[in-house]
Amino acid sequence: MFILCSPHNPIGRIWTSEELHHMVKICAKYHVCVIADEIHSDLTMPNEKFINTAVAAKEWQDNVMTCLSESKAFNLAGIKISYIVISDPHMRQLFRRSVDRSFAVDLNPFAMAATVAAYRDSEDWLK
């Protein structure tokens, strides 16, 4: 497993598409799963464009699990919600089984509504 923080925390460096592509390609070659922590992806400097790891390495996107949350950008850490994007159906099933066994999912309606509102209605606040 390779854990990538993108953009980098704490310096905020955004990895280039070429860097992400090359890194995921190497990981795929050696059967290393990439966990892309992209929780800070909404927090970029003006005129900087975030590049999603799975998109940058499209041919190997099934080797990438992307972790996301609105908690950092919208200051909603207290609602305790995040999500993970897993393209590969087999990997997604294994992850889901693990979560089901550990009872790690405990969402509340307030957290889900706050997440939707943050992404749908709060662009001005984020700027």
> How high is the pLDDT of residue 30?
97
Alpha carbon of residue 100 to chain centroid: 20
Half-sphere exposure at residue 70, Cβ-oriented, CA atoms within 13 angstroms: 19
What is the Cα Rg of the chain in Å?
Answer: 15
Q: What is the C-alpha to C-alpha distance for residues 100 and 111, in angstroms, rounded to an integer?
A: 20
> How high is the pLDDT of residue 11?
86
The residue behind tokens 């390495």 is 57
Interval 65-90 mean pLDDT: 91
> Which pLDDT tens digit goes with each residue over 105-116?
777 889 989 999
Q: What is the C-alpha to C-alpha distance for residues 112 and 110, in angstroms, rounded to an integer?
A: 6
Q: What is the C-alpha to C-alpha distance for residues 75 and 61, in angstroms, rounded to an integer?
A: 29
Is a pLDDT exceeding 80 seen at residue 104?
A: no
Q: What is the C-alpha to C-alpha distance for residues 79 and 89, in angstroms, rounded to an integer?
A: 28
Who wins on pLDDT, 9 or 86?
Answer: 86
Interval 92-97 mean pLDDT: 92
> Which pLDDT tens digit goes with each residue over 58-77?
999 999 999 999 988 998 88
Rounded to 5 degrees, what are φ and ψ at 28?
A: -65, -40
Interval 94-101 mean pLDDT: 88
Provide the whole-model pTM: 0.87
Here the tokens at position 104 are 């790690």
> How high is the pLDDT of residue 101?
84
